[in-house]
Amino acid sequence: LFTEINHVGIAVADLDAAKEFYKNSFDMSVVHEETNEEQGVREAMLAVGDSGSCIQLLAPLTPESTIAKFLDKSGPGIQQMAYTVEDIDAVSATLRERGLRLLYDEPRRGTANSRINFIHPKDAGGVLVELVEPAADASH
């Protein structure tokens, strides 16, 4: 169903401070950064060496946003596990057939014009699972 781990998403209060921490502590640098108004986040992708694996730092845009609520409740830390899929419509249909709830009826826009949806954490063992169908011209 899933072809690889796309990224692990980490909630942070301050994106710039988190980027500094990852740079200074782990020599990890930003390969992509954007603001996603619909998701209420500023986000930065950081590469793990040349592996193609990434972590995604997620900072809240507003106090009402999903990430702000997560920080209030759980504090900073891992917020989501994102898998790459080739065809998000087909994978979503399969998951629904298997009784899992997806958060959106139709995929929405994610990082670098990917198409995304989420499995409710209550249906996935307490893990917020993101499905990512990368844009045709994207490396991740």
Decide: 89 and 105 in contact? Cβ < 8 Å.
no
54, containing H or E segment: strand 54-60
Q: Which of 19, 70, 84, 88 binds ligand MC0 (CB under 6 A)?
A: 70
Give the interface size with ligand MC0 as a residue count (CB under 6 A). Answer: 27
Best CA proximity match to 106, nearest among 122, 124, 94, 93: 93
By CB under 6 A, tell whether 107 contacts ligand MC0.
Answer: no
**Of the two residues 27 and 99, which places its CB atom closer to ligand MC0 in the complex?**
99
**Of the two residues 24 and 95, which places its CB atom closer to ligand MC0 in the complex?**
95
Q: Name every residue whose Cβ is closer than 8 Å to that of residue 111 and which is 6 or more positions away in sequence.
A: 7, 32, 34, 36, 43, 45, 56, 132
Closest approach of Cβ 24 to ligand MC0, in Å?
A: 24
By CB under 6 A, tell whether 108 contacts ligand MC0.
Answer: no
Q: Name every residue whose Cβ is closer than 8 Å to that of residue 78 and which is 6 or more positions away in sequence.
A: 8, 9, 10, 11
Tell me the residue number closest to ligand MC0, measured at CB: 110
The residue with tokens 């999903």 is 66
**Which residues contact ligand MC0 (rule: CB under 6 A)?**
9, 36, 39, 41, 43, 56, 58, 66-67, 69-70, 73, 79-80, 82, 103, 110-111, 114, 116, 118, 121-122, 126-128, 130
